[in-house]
Structure 1
């Protein structure tokens, strides 16, 4: 399946992921220093991931409204969400981050949310129909 027509379920899952991403991005970009102090997470990490989430949400919103989407792109979003969830838990467990109690809660919440998004998007991908993409015939070269 090279391209799909996103199912209504996938469109809604993408919209939910975009909304959550934008909310988190806004929080991290508007008040990074207080969050960094409260959660004991690096403010540079909060700013960088907040900026990334803005671009990511824009991609999700484009995918949500597109009539045809590359199936690989949906799979990439799913794998990315799983990776984000693993990172939220793995970085502190490996000692890369030393979050405070509330920082752990923040990371666990994010991990749960993105893993849920991955499951919903995978289900939506399964419900989507293949899309035939017309590729123009090759134009013969003129000598």
Structure 2
């Protein structure tokens, strides 16, 4: 398995992703009842989304602290972020919910933030050095 020595840029991008997941996760899980009406999404949906983000934040923070990572791990983070962006768009166009204007803006803003963080992670991955397995080095 190919590993990388994450560049400082990648580690910072992963840490930013972790902080954003933690902040959004805490907001959605703790304030779901308050946000449901103004956003136009069910309380359970918001709380569930928030609770999904909290372990993601912990994993991303751990990844950001590592001196080496499997390259596949970074690809998985990028892929999951791209899936989150796609799901955000689907939520708005599939008519599963009736979000308010504020809810639409919230979904678009967080999807845009995820897209920016994902681009930063891609740049960071390109700046990272691949490490050969010990038996090949």
Give the TM-score, by structure 2 length.
Answer: 0.93
Give the count of matched residue pairs: 135
CA shift for structure 1 position 46? 1.2
Match of 1:139 in 2: none
Matches within 5 A, 1:81-96: 81-96=81-96
Distance between the aligned counterparts of 1:131 and 1:45, measured in 2?
Answer: 41
Alpha-carbon RMSD across the aligned residues, in angstroms, is: 1.3
Give the TM-score, by structure 1 length.
Answer: 0.89
The 4+ residue runs of structure 1 with deviation greater than 2 A are 132-135
Larger Rg: 1
CA shift for structure 1 position 132? 2.9
CA deviation profile, 1:19-55 (whole Å, cap 9, x unmatched): 1111101111111111111101121111111111110
Match of 1:51 in 2: 51
CA deviation profile, 1:66-125 (whole Å, cap 9, x unmatched): 111111111111111111112112222121222111100110011101111111101101
Unpaired stretches in structure 2, ≥5 consecutive residues? none
Matches within 5 A, 1:1-143: 2-134=2-134
Distance between the aligned counterparts of 2:44 and 2:72, measured in 1?
Answer: 31
